[in-house]
A and B are shown apart, each in its own frame.
Chain A
Amino acid sequence: MKLKVILSVMVILLGGFVFVLLPSETGDDAGDIHIEVIDADGQTVLTETLSFDADDSLYDVLNRHIEIETRGTSGGRILLSIAGLSTDFVHNFIKIEIDGELSRSGIDQTNLKDGSVYTFSVDSVR
C-alpha cells in the first residue's frame, strides 16, 4: 500500500516535470499581425493589419475585427468561416498558415507574433 502511494506520487511528479520541460511556443505581448484570406480560386479576398495585446489569441483578434463563424469542440474552437470563406469541416477545412508554414495549433492556441502573416485558405480533407 505504502509502495503504491509512493509510486503513484512519483509518476505524477515525473509526468508534471516532463510536462513543464516540454518546449512551448511563446508569443509577443503586443504588436501587429497581417491577415490574408484566400478563396478557392487562389484570389486574395481580404488583407488586413490588426493589432493585438497581451493574452490575445488569434481568435480574439479575428473576432474583434473580421466576420468569423466558429464551433466549439473539446480541443478548442474550429474555424468554419472567415470573411465569406466557409467550409463544412467534413469535406474541407480552413487551413491556417503562419509566415507560409502550416499552423500546428488552432485559433485558440496560436500565440501571436508581431509582424507575422496569418493566411487562411480552404483545403480539402483527404
Chain B
Amino acid sequence: MTLRRMILVAMAITIVFVQEQVLMIVPNVQLTVALLVIYARVFSLKENITLIFVYVLLDSLYMGTLNPFYMTPMLIGWSLIPISLHIFLPKTNNEKTLALFGLVFSFVYGWVFIPFHMIQTGIHTWWPYLLADIPFQIVMGVSSYISILWVYQPLVRLIRQEMEKLEHQFKPIYHPHEK
C-alpha cells in the first residue's frame, strides 16, 4: 500500500468513525453500511480489511470495550461487506442491487453476534437473541437500504474524482533521473 493510499484509508476510517459517533443518539441508524459498500468499490480488498480492522479497534478503544466477544463479531461482520461484494457482486454498480445487499447484510450482521453472546452469557439457546435483535435489525436494514440507494452513486463519483485529484497532486514535478 502506498503512502497516499494509506492517507486515503485513514481519511475513510475517520469519516466512518465520526458519522457513527454523531448518529449514536439514534439506535442502529447509521451510514456505516453505505460507507463500507462505497469503500468496497473504491479501495482494494486488502485496503478494506485494513480499514475495517483499524475502525473496529478504534471504535472499541473509544467505547471502552476491548472485549473480544464484541470485537470479534464486529470484525467478522463488517469484513463480510467487502468480502461478499468481492465474491458475489464484483462488478455491480447498481445502487438498487447494492441497497438490497445492505438490507440483507444488516440482518446477517446481527446474526454474527449470536454465537458470541451465547458463549459470553452461557445461555445456549439461540432464538431469544434472534428475536430480541429483530427490531434493531429492521431499523439498521431500512437505514442501510435508504442510505445506499441515495448516497452510493454521488459519493462513489465524488470519492473517485477526489482520488484522481490527489493522484495528480502527488505526481512529482521533478524526476531525479531527468536531465
Which A residues contact B (CB, under 8 angstroms)? Answer: 4, 7-8, 11-12, 15, 18-19, 22-23, 74-75, 102, 104, 125-126
Contacts and interface: CB of A to CB of B under 8 A. Distances in A.
Contacts of A74: 24, 27
B103 A11 contact: yes
Contacts of B103: 11
B104 interface: no
Given A15-B139, A15-B142, A125 B120 contact: yes
Contacts, number: 38
What is the interface of chain B mostly: helix, strand, loop, or mixed? helix
Given A4-B149, A12-B146, A104-B128, 18 more contacts: A4-B150, A7-B149, A8-B150, A11-B142, A11-B145, A11-B146, A15-B138, A18-B134, A18-B138, A19-B135, A22-B134, A22-B135, A23-B131, A74-B27, A102-B123, A125-B120, A126-B119, A126-B122
Range, interface on chain B: 20 to 34
Interface of B: 24, 27, 96, 99, 103, 119-123, 128, 131-132, 134-135, 138-139, 141-142, 145-146, 149-150
A12 B142 contact: yes
B98 to A, nearest CB: 12
Contacts of A104: 128, 132
Contacts of A8: 145-146, 149-150
Nearest to A24: B135
A74 B29 CA distance: 14
18 contacts: A4-B150, A7-B96, A7-B99, A7-B145, A7-B149, A8-B146, A8-B149, A11-B145, A11-B146, A12-B142, A15-B138, A15-B142, A19-B138, A74-B27, A75-B27, A104-B128, A104-B132, A126-B119
